[in-house]
Structure 1
Amino acid sequence: MFWLADKRCMNHIKHGHIYSHFGLEFILYLVELLREGLCRRTQRSRAISPEVQVLAALGFYTSGSFQTSMGDTIGISQASMSRCVSNVTRALVEKAPQFITFNRDPSSREESFQEFQRVAGFPGVIGVLDCVQVAIKAPNSEDSSYVNKKGFHSVGCQLVCDARGLLLSAETCWPGGLKDTVVLERSAFYKQVQDTEEGWLLGDRRYPLRKWLMTPVDCPESPAELRYNLAHSATHEIVDRTFRAIQTRFKCLDGTKGYLQYSPERSSSILLACCVLHNASLQSGLDAWTLERTDPLEQPESLEQRPEDRDSQAEDLRRQLILKHFS
């Protein structure tokens, strides 16, 4: 078996950070999950076992190290390391529909309502929504659409998660310069949720109020509106906590360690692969927020909404919600 055949890799698993992040059982599960896809891509003349490929990729995702140093650690060349990361990333992206799904059946919806209501008393929540940024190197074309409002190049990732931090949707392919509202309106998820009749998502002040998307009251004038905003904030924070935990576990996404040294397309694939790993590890019993950082939350700017963009039905629905549950 591979683990006995390659003592250097075995030692790295037992004593390195990869084992502390996932545990041997999950790593073995991952190897079997991806084995067929990895074997399909490996050229026979330069065959690298699925075990080595998975270990190399996990090392890169979790260390934030450049491929040279990670390759040295487990004893493979930089070129082989690069192939491993590419192969495992593609194999994980292929698994995304299996691990990241927005389930809309009634029993799942009711369970979601209960789990979210236990957080801060906010009723009817089916998910929390946010758009986050991951720093990348400047594209070769110097495409200004990837420069975000903070002035650095990034890819935008629209995330929706449940009360446990499990991702229900992850769209990682957006230029960092796009506004969150534009990303939402162009996303595949937008088409899925517009006809939602029971329950709603929670979004912050950067999003428009809709019947299926509850946002904070801009200037709360009553104790009920204030209670609504507090419950909204405490519940919506789950998506921020989830992304911080993903960045902490997968340090290749952590901007404090440097940006991803790849094209926007490849960076988006790496980000989606890490989202798949996050969900797979949760479904295997690991805790979503074990490695969570405790950064202060950034207060979003309010959306400047034109009068013609207002949704009066959504405003009525929010008023009724506040009156019934927060008065």
Structure 2
Amino acid sequence: MAVPIAVLDCDLLLHGRGHKTLDRFDIDTVSDDFLLTTFGFPREFIYFLVDLLGDSLSRRTQRSRAISPDVQILAALGFYTSGSFQTRMGDAIGISQASMSRCVTNVTNALVEKASSFISFARDDSTKSQSKEDFYRVAGMPGVLGVVDCAHIAIKAPNAEDLSYINKKGFHSINCQLVCDSRGLLLSAETHWPGSLSDGEVFKQSSVWTFFEEQENHDGWLLGKDIVFCSTGDRLYPLKKWLMTPLQYPETPADFRYNMAHTATHEIVDRTFRAIQTRFRCLDGSKGYLQYSPEKCARIILACCVLHNVSLQSGLDAWTFERTETPDQSEGGCEQADAVDSEAFRIRQELINNHFN
């Protein structure tokens, strides 16, 4: 009697019984070194992810021979951290390219569902106070709640008609805005903005802008860069009561000390970007651009941001895999005088007088 093909798993058909199939791969049978070098994370962290995402991944795979949550997680981690396309990573755990693609999608969606639980400005007063103290120890800048910056992640061209993702350097990208604390923990990650938008345009449309603008009382501030474009006169990040920018024309020793402290403290978000792109090689461009729609690319980037925070909260170092070279993420511009918020200007001047004189 013929057996309907629908009941057979495609991986079994492709690889045969002599190959490790999806239900034969056992995480407990491989070495710690294999897990770390192949999938980028230690065994304990992978077990934590299985506990965190297991229910969601089980719901997503209701087939009779569904791939187990731990194998799905290994498949996705392998793709995120190696940057290799899915065939090689699928071979490492004995699943087909089609199954590998489903695993990456399932795990990405499960991580995105957890984003608000791991990436948030919602912190108690004690945590905020500790973060300010940690920022102050970096370079003597008081009152810092977080540092903000953008970086471009290369993606494939969506289609011939869509020019919104072509950035100023001529390639298709998503402009991602991150805010992090002194440890590199992400407080905000917006990974969906088209590459044609400048950092300033992203910032003014972001949830971060809305969050701080709607607050009546600010018990600190973010730090942002301040480049002004000759063509438009627009600031990269405008000086606000809740956003401190460098002085464009420092004159006094206190001005220069303030700018130096600002630069040294702001560098934390740049280091965090570099660490994320180095740990998750699918984002750093060395393996080529992300081969998906902008919407799926945005979800993959956000999933990596969630993993960054989960790993940091699990005790791993935020900058363990940080590369030393600094990618050119800046947008060309020149200094130009521009009107600023008078109250914000007063607050910054008071900060300089009280702490850098």
TM-score bin (small chain): over 0.9
Once residues 240 and 253 of structure 2 are traced to their aligned partners in structure 1, the CA distance between those partners, rounded to angstroms, is 23
Q: 2:142 aligned to 99, 123, 126, which one?
A: 123
Q: 1:283 aligned to 313, 319, 323, which one?
A: 313
1:235 has 2:256 as partner: no
8 A Cα contact 1:3 1:9, kept in partner: no
Label 1:211 to 1:174 Cα distance change in 2 as closer, same or farther (>3 A).
same
- Residue number in structure 2 paired with 1:61: 80
- Residue number in structure 1 paired with 2:47: 28
SS at match of 2:157: coil
| Residue deviations 1:178-218 (CA, integer Å, cap 9, x gap) | 01111111111211112252100000122111110001111
SS at match of 1:178: coil
Counterpart amino acid of residue 73 in structure 1: A
8 A Cα contact 1:3 1:10, kept in partner: no
Once residues 275 and 97 of structure 1 are traced to their aligned partners in structure 2, the CA distance between those partners, rounded to angstroms, is 11
- Residue number in structure 2 paired with 1:6: 25
How far did 1:129 drift? 0.3
- Residue number in structure 1 paired with 2:100: 81
Once residues 326 and 112 of structure 2 are traced to their aligned partners in structure 1, the CA distance between those partners, rounded to angstroms, is 31
- Residue number in structure 2 paired with 1:312: 342
How far did 1:21 drift? 3.0
Counterpart amino acid of residue 47 in structure 1: A
- Residue number in structure 2 paired with 1:214: 244
Label 1:228 to 1:310 Cα distance change in 2 as closer, same or farther (>3 A).
same
SS at match of 1:285: coil
Structure 2 unaligned spans of 5+? 1-20, 227-235
1:201 has 2:231 as partner: no
Deviation above 4 Å: which 4+ runs of structure 1? Answer: 2-5, 7-10, 16-20, 297-307
Aligned residues: 325
8 A Cα contact 1:135 1:255, kept in partner: yes
* Larger helix share, 1 or 2: 1
8 A Cα contact 1:135 1:259, kept in partner: yes
1:48 has 2:67 as partner: yes
1:92 has 2:111 as partner: yes
Identify the range of structure 1 (261-270 vs 181-190) with the bigger mean alpha-carbon deviation.
181-190
Counterpart amino acid of residue 264 in structure 1: P
Once residues 179 and 148 of structure 1 are traced to their aligned partners in structure 2, the CA distance between those partners, rounded to angstroms, is 8
- Residue number in structure 2 paired with 1:324: 354
Label 1:117 to 1:265 Cα distance change in 2 as closer, same or farther (>3 A).
same
- Residue number in structure 1 paired with 2:197: 178
How far did 1:297 drift? 6.2
TM-score by length of 1: 0.93
Label 1:32 to 1:229 Cα distance change in 2 as closer, same or farther (>3 A).
same
How far did 1:146 drift? 0.5
Once residues 260 and 38 of structure 1 are traced to their aligned partners in structure 2, the CA distance between those partners, rounded to angstroms, is 23
TM-score by length of 2: 0.86
How far did 1:176 drift? 0.8
| Residue deviations 1:254-299 (CA, integer Å, cap 9, x gap) | 1122110011000000000000000000000000001101113645
8 A Cα contact 2:221 2:241, kept in partner: yes
| Residue deviations 1:42-67 (CA, integer Å, cap 9, x gap) | 13245111011000000000000001
RMSD: 2.2
8 A Cα contact 2:166 2:196, kept in partner: yes
1:274 has 2:293 as partner: no
Once residues 75 and 320 of structure 2 are traced to their aligned partners in structure 1, the CA distance between those partners, rounded to angstroms, is 23
Once residues 134 and 282 of structure 2 are traced to their aligned partners in structure 1, the CA distance between those partners, rounded to angstroms, is 31
1:132 has 2:162 as partner: no
SS at match of 1:146: coil
8 A Cα contact 1:154 1:175, kept in partner: yes
Counterpart amino acid of residue 108 in structure 2: T
Label 1:16 to 1:31 Cα distance change in 2 as closer, same or farther (>3 A).
closer
- Residue number in structure 2 paired with 1:155: 174
Counterpart amino acid of residue 54 in structure 1: I
Once residues 39 and 60 of structure 2 are traced to their aligned partners in structure 1, the CA distance between those partners, rounded to angstroms, is 29
Counterpart amino acid of residue 113 in structure 2: E
Structure 1 unaligned spans of 5+? none
